[in-house]
Amino acid sequence: MTCAEFENALPDFLDGGGGTDLRSHAASCDACSELVSSLQAIMTGAKTLQGAEEPSPRVWNSIESALRREGLIHEPRPARSWHLPSFSRRWGAWAWAVPVLGALLLAGLWLNNPRPAGDRVAAVPAQAVPVKATAPVKAVVAVSPDDQQMMQEVAVRAPMMTAIYQTNLARVNQYIQDAQAVVDANPTDDEAQRSLMEAYEQKSLLNEIALDRSLP
Amino acid sequence: MQSSQQAAKVTLVGLVVLAAVASAETKKELRFTLGPKATVAIVNQYGGISVKPSATGNMVVVTATLASDKVDVQSSQGPNRVDLASHLLAGATDVTGRVDYEVTVPVDTSVILQSATGPLHAEKLHGDIELEGVAAPVDVRDIWDSHVHIKTMNGPVTVTNVRDGHVEIDSVSGNITLNSVSGPEVRVSSTSGQIIYDGDFGYPGEYRLTSHSGNIEATFPQTTVAEIRAQSYQGKVQDDAHLQPKKHPNFSVAEGKSFVGTTLNTINQAAASVWLRTFSGRIHLKKRQ
């Protein structure tokens, strides 16, 4: 059995089906075995999100529009691929699952990590939004485990770029913080929600560039 | 006197190094025959990629200039697709691992280009364009009827003369300049980079330029047909285009902070929808003279 045939039969295999030839291929092929492990980890992570509070339709709309902008779902067009070659090769037909899970995790984090009361901006009428003065970029340091992991990766692969990544990471974190403050002040403001999504997309972009194996 | 001698020595050493690198350069030419609407993807760690239309039908010609033997170019051809990648060998650096690609493709080819340092350049094509760089300067021009998708971390982006395009540009801190860019959807997003739009917001499409701290400047001619919303939470909105203020059901105006206006000739005409938004940057609307 080839890897391509195995990937085609992956849905059955992950559902617990598949014959001995699938199992023996998974046992003997490191690449396919790694793919199965990664997808199982994604499925496990996705199950934990099911218990979370159901997001509003606006969140799903925002995710859909983000995916549409990413080109992962789009109106019928001539055959094309927005995925980078290394990414497509690695994930094959399951390439869609990674950004979808990323978006779900972002949505989950967003919904399940309300900001401390001290960070909130008092509710004000829509459009008249006094946002906290933007702190100097250097005051917002990368402290989350994900940020630290990203910076460690950059330090290993592109040590000369560490300071630039650090500065940009601080800037996008500040962006998210400011956008979140506006959403907190105007929870029903669609544009504020969209702005927060855009801030997260900027961070996602930075992560994508920092962790892309094909770039130094 | 002593310092000038030292400067001369440094210059001499520099020239010797440059000569050594230049002498190690090799050129590699690759040719591929593809069908219509093919895809060419190039992943390059260090160095530029320039893609231009070919004069010869369905032929893709790639000229790769390799800085040294510390880097190699690998290629593979699939059904109507070519993949090229620079492969760094042990001990390669950003100097010795550099490859510069000059590529000619049929005009309807879709291109996917990736380089950390760039520059990345594509022109006169109408296939889809996807460019990604870290610090790479990106220059895209004379593109029509296609998707243009650009991502950089701090590389500056310049897009010129794009018609009927679905344009999406994301840069964390690189400045983004759009000249004569129009289409059903133009979306530009930045954290701290400056966004400059100079064009007519042609096509009754949706234009959305957003930043966190970067300034946004939009310059358009008298003939533009558009409804423009501009909002800066902490910065200022300056309207030197003298738009007609307009009431909007979901958008209230705050002096110097947010503004909705239309150009003079939107009655009975399909107008472009323009959204300019920044948190702490300044928004400046200007009329082209």
Q: What is the DSSP string of B47-111?
A: S-EEEEE-SSTTEEEEEEEESSTTEEEEEEEETTEEEEEEEEPTT--TTTTBEEEEEEE-TT-EE
**B39 against A74, higher pLDDT:** B39
A122 & A214 share domain = yes
The residue among A171, A166, A143 whose CA lies nearest residue A154 is A166
A211 & A153 share domain = yes
pLDDT(B109) > 80: yes
Residues in chain A with CB shorter than 8 Å from the CB of B212 are 171-172, 174-175, 178-179, 199, 202
Structure confidence at residue A132 (pLDDT) = 47
A84: confidence class by pLDDT, cuts 50, 70, 90: very low
| 3-state DSSP assignment of residue A80 | coil
Q: DSSP state, A56?
A: P
A42 & A58 share domain = no
Determine whether the interchain pair A205/B172 forms a contact, defined as Cβ–Cβ distance below 8 Å: yes
Pick from A110-114, A174-178, B3-7, B46-50: least confident: A110-114
B218: confidence class by pLDDT, cuts 50, 70, 90: very high
A214: confidence class by pLDDT, cuts 50, 70, 90: low
B226: confidence class by pLDDT, cuts 50, 70, 90: confident
- Alpha-helix runs per DSSP H in chain A: 3-8, 10-14, 20-28, 30-50, 57-70, 85-91, 97-112, 145-157, 162-185, 190-211
Mutate to test the interface with A, among B194, B233, B275, B282 (most CBs of A within 10 A): B233
- Residues B264, B207: Cα–Cα separation, whole Å: 18
pLDDT(B62) > 90: yes
- Residues B211, A199: Cα–Cα separation, whole Å: 9
- Residues A197, B210: Cα–Cα separation, whole Å: 12
A175 & A133 share domain = yes
B124: confidence class by pLDDT, cuts 50, 70, 90: very high
| Residue ranges making up the domain that contains A68 | 53-113
Structure confidence at residue B186 (pLDDT) = 96
Structure confidence at residue B19 (pLDDT) = 55
A103 & A135 share domain = no
Structure confidence at residue A50 (pLDDT) = 47
A46: confidence class by pLDDT, cuts 50, 70, 90: low
The residues in A 3-42 lying below 8 A from B, measured between CB atoms, are: none
Residue that has been written with the tokens 């003939």 in this structure: B223
Q: Give pLDDT tens digits for B171-181.
A: 999 999 999 99
Q: What are phi and psi of B233, to 5 degrees?
A: -70, -40
Cβ contact A166:A151 at 8 Å: yes
The residues in A 134-193 lying below 8 A from B, measured between CB atoms, are: 134, 158, 161, 164-165, 167-168, 171-172, 174-175, 178-179, 182, 190-191
The residue among B125, B172, B168, B171 whose CA lies nearest residue B144 is B125
- Residues A154, B153: Cα–Cα separation, whole Å: 13
Cβ contact B35:B60 at 8 Å: no
The residues in A 109-128 lying below 8 A from B, measured between CB atoms, are: 126-128
The full set of domain ranges for chain B reads 24-115, 137-289
A91: confidence class by pLDDT, cuts 50, 70, 90: very low
First to last CA, chain B: 54
A165 & A205 share domain = yes
Q: Give just the sign of the alpha carbon dihedral A168, A174, A176, A179.
A: negative
Structure confidence at residue B244 (pLDDT) = 79
Percent of chain B clearing pLDDT 70 (strictly above):
87
Q: Give pLDDT tens digits for B139-156.
A: 999 999 999 999 999 999
A42: confidence class by pLDDT, cuts 50, 70, 90: low
How far apart are the CA of B5 and the nearest CA of chain A, in angstroms?
31
Structure confidence at residue B170 (pLDDT) = 96
Query: A80, A95, A113: which is the final residue of a domain?
Result: A113
From edge to edge, which strands make up the β-sheet containing B216-220?
Answer: B26-33, B59-66, B99-105, B49-53, B120-125, B138-144, B157-163, B176-181, B195-198, B216-220, B283-287, B237-239
| One-letter identity of residue A35 | L
A205 & A134 share domain = yes
Q: Give pLDDT tens digits for B155-193.
A: 999 999 999 999 999 999 999 999 999 999 999 999 999
Structure confidence at residue A115 (pLDDT) = 40
Question: What's the pTM?
Answer: 0.69
Using CB atoms within 10 Å of the CB of residue B37, give its burial: 0 to 12 exposed, 13 to 18 middle, 19+ buried. Answer: middle
pLDDT(A137) > 70: no
Cβ contact B127:B110 at 8 Å: yes
The residue among B160, B151, B70 whose CA lies nearest residue B118 is B151
Structure confidence at residue A135 (pLDDT) = 45
Pick from A136-140, B106-110, B121-125, B157-161: least confident: A136-140
Q: What is the mean pLDDT of chain B?
A: 88
Pick from A122-126, A127-131, B200-204, B214-218: least confident: A122-126
pLDDT(B37) > 80: yes
Structure confidence at residue B146 (pLDDT) = 92
β-strands B258-262, B244-245 pairing: antiparallel
Percent of chain A clearing pLDDT 70 (strictly above):
50
pLDDT(B117) > 80: yes
Structure confidence at residue A126 (pLDDT) = 36
- Residues B260, B251: Cα–Cα separation, whole Å: 8
The Cα-based distances of B201 to A96, A139, B208, B276 in angstroms read 33, 38, 11, 13
Query: A9, A34, A51: which is the final residue of a domain?
Result: A51
The torsion of the CA quartet A174, A64, A212, A108, rounded to 10 degrees, works out to 60
Residues in chain A with CB shorter than 8 Å from the CB of B112 are 81-82, 84-85
Domain count, chain A: 3
Which tokens sit at B135?
């610090």
| 3-state DSSP assignment of residue A65 | helix
